[in-house]
């Protein structure tokens, strides 16, 4: 309130008058304060002690040098920071990496597998050897002793043969899943960029509303001084003074609400772009100058079928449908037998194939075919195929629903851009008319042919018009950002 008071009593004359205040600037039009208002402000300033009032104001206004300096940020810079630090994108990138790793894992199962194995074992010494006695002899002969220390080294090769058909379907399904994960990441980038732009323009909207409220508060404070002086002189009624005080209270309440919107908007923007929540930001991009579209929104035609190039969300669902079809085909191969080629080289002491040479290292090799056929498994394969078909049907239904949703969303965005553009023009005209009305009423009030209530009504109309213009400008910028998001684009 002290800052608004200073802006009111020290308002300079001249075209496009700007009022300096502690910690910021309140913008007022040239007609905001009339000659009577300025004279009353100067008299009030002299009654408060002239230059000595600055000592009092310096004790109340915070020192700008001690506060944390706000960081200037454009909307493009905010998007770039968010794409680098946003947690949602890190999660989406990790999911895409995991999907590509799954492709390599399944693809490796189609290749020959080469394994090696080595072992050492020690048997207990209570195992009796193989002995026999010849008829007619009293002596016992040892036929084969027990080798207590046992060594074995093995190298084996396995090549899947009949499983190649199933593995081929699973590999292609994993490839579709990986492609879908990349498209989901692309769509997530577009969504994050849109969230950042929306948060940026909402913060900009709140800042513009705060500036409008500060300017209105300065004007109401100055008008209140004039009305109070006229009441003291007997030229105005006390109800005019009460009405001005009530209006000041209303503007102060709006200021509190808007300041909270600014703080909340800054917290949300800092969260999205990965900055500390308490770091102050200053939005420097102008919604009337930032161009987010490379093509006019009229090129968005909801009747046209979306394509993979500009609809990553739909392309990802299409890939998922293709992957489910491959999985359905893979479940059909469960009725076929499994056939593998194998080869093995073995060097051991003792080698089980050299029965008479237990105390020596011997090497053997072998190769062959290994096959199995699950004739009946209690209905497991038919259940797995039914499950895969149901999941495919669900994926196709999601694709159809999302296609219809995207078509409606595209049409809605196109209409929103057109509405916001028209609203900006109407709001600008409304501001010009409200400014002119406020100027005329202010002059009439100075001449004594208009009431204080008329000035307050004109001030409120001007404040509302400027607030609607700030809303329209922010809505237009958000609508243009929504067009990029509907196309799945970042820039």
Helix 75-85 to helix 164-233 angle (10° resolution) is 140
In-domain check, residue 9: yes
Q: Which pLDDT value is given to residue 306?
A: 44
CA distance 23 to 20: 9
Same-domain check for residues 268 and 220? yes
Q: Which pLDDT value is given to residue 143?
A: 62
Give the structural domain span for 134: 111-162+343-372
Based on the structure, what is the number of domains in the chain?
A: 2
Residue 87's Cβ-count burial label (10 Å; 0-12, 13-18, 19+) is exposed
Same-domain check for residues 235 and 197? yes
- For the stretch 306-364, pLDDT in tens is 444 458 989 999 999 999 999 999 888 888 888 899 999 999 988 888 877 778 899 99
Same-domain check for residues 193 and 274? yes
In-domain check, residue 322: no
Q: Which pLDDT value is given to residue 142?
A: 65
In-domain check, residue 389: no
Q: What is the DSSP string of 351-419?
A: -TT-TT-TTS-EEEEEEEEEEE-----TTHHHHHHHHHHHHHHHHHHHHHHHHHHHHHHHHHHHHHHHH
Helix 164-233 to helix 35-47 angle (10° resolution) is 80
CA distance 185 to 316: 10
Query: Which residues, at least 6 apart from 436, have a Cβ–Cβ distance to it below 8 Å?
Result: none
CATH of the domain at 189: 1.20.1600.10
pTM of the model: 0.71
Q: Which pLDDT value is given to residue 66?
A: 39
In-domain check, residue 115: yes
pLDDT at residue 281 greater than cutoff 80 = yes
Same-domain check for residues 190 and 277? yes
Same-domain check for residues 445 and 348? no
Q: Which pLDDT value is given to residue 289?
A: 66
Residue 120: which pLDDT band, with cuts at 50, 70 and 90?
very high
Same-domain check for residues 145 and 18? no
Are 430 and 468 in contact by the 8 Å Cβ rule? The answer is yes
CA distance 10 to 57: 13
Same-domain check for residues 280 and 353? no
In-domain check, residue 383: no
CA 158 to chain centre: 47
Same-domain check for residues 82 and 115? no
In-domain check, residue 241: yes
| Residues in a beta bridge with 113 | 158
Q: Which pLDDT value is given to residue 52?
A: 39
Are 339 and 396 in contact by the 8 Å Cβ rule? The answer is no
Same-domain check for residues 235 and 357? no
CA distance 50 to 194: 52
Average pLDDT in the chain = 80
Q: Which pLDDT value is given to residue 386?
A: 92
In-domain check, residue 285: yes
Same-domain check for residues 187 and 155? no
28-52 average pLDDT score: 40
Query: How do strand 281-283 and strand 71-73 relate by DSSP bridges?
Result: parallel
Same-domain check for residues 57 and 200? yes
Residue 57's Cβ-count burial label (10 Å; 0-12, 13-18, 19+) is middle
In-domain check, residue 449: yes
Same-domain check for residues 310 and 449? yes
The structure tokens listed for 216 are 């209105």
């Amino acid at each position: 309130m002290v800052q608004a008071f200073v802006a009111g009593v020290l308002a300079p004359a001249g075209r496009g008058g700007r009022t300096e205040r502690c910690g910021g600037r309140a913008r007022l039009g040239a007609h905001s304060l009339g000659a009577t208002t300025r004279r009353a402000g100067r008299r009030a300033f002299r009654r408060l002690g002239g230059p000595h009032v600055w000592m009092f104001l310096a004790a109340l206004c915070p020192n700008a040098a001690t506060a944390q300096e706000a960081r200037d940020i454009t909307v493009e810079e905010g998007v770039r920071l968010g794409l680098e630090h946003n947690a949602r994108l890190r999660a989406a990138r990790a999911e895409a990496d995991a999907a590509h790793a799954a492709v390599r894992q399944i693809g490796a199962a189609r290749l020959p597998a080469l394994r090696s194995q080595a072992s050492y074992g020690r048997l207990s010494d209570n195992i009796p050897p193989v002995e026999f006695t010849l008829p007619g002899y009293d002596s016992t002969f040892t036929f084969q002793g027990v080798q207590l220390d046992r060594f074995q080294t093995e190298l084996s090769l396995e090549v899947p043969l009949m499983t190649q058909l199933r593995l081929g379907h699973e590999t292609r399904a994993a490839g579709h899943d990986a492609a879908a994960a990349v498209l989901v990441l692309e769509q997530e980038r577009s969504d994050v960029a849109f969230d950042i732009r929306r948060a940026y323009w909402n913060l900009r909207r709140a800042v513009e509303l705060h500036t409008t409220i500060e300017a209105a508060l300065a004007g109401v404070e100055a008008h209140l001084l004039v009305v109070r002086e006229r009441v003291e002189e007997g030229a105005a009624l006390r109800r005019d003074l009460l009405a001005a005080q009530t209006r000041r209270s209303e503007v102060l309440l709006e200021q509190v609400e808007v300041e909270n919107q600014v703080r909340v908007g800054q917290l949300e923007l800092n969260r999205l772009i990965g900055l500390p929540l308490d770091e102050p930001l200053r939005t420097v991009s102008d919604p009337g100058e930032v161009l987010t579209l490379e093509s006019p929104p009229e090129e968005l035609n909801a009747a046209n079928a979306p394509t993979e190039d500009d609809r990553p969300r739909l392309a990802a669902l299409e890939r998922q449908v293709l992957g489910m079809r491959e999985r359905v085909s893979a479940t059909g191969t469960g009725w076929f037998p499994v056939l593998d080629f194998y080869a093995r080289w073995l060097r051991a002491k003792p080698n089980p194939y050299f029965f008479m040479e237990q105390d020596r290292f011997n090497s053997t090799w072998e190769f062959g075919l290994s096959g199995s056929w699950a004739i009946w498994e209690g209905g497991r394969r038919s259940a797995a195929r039914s499950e895969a078909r149901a999941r495919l049907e669900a994926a196709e239904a999601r694709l159809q629903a999302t296609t219809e949703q995207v078509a409606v969303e595209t049409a809605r965005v196109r209409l929103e851009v057109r509405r916001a553009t028209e609203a900006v023009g109407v709001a600008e005209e409304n501001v010009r008319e409200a400014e002119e009305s406020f100027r005329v009423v202010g002059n009439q009030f100075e001449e004594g042919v208009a009431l204080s209530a008329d000035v307050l009504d004109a001030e409120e109309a001007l404040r509302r018009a400027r607030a609607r213009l700030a809303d329209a400008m922010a809505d237009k910028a958000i609508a243009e950002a929504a067009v990029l998001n509907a196309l799945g684009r970042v820039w």
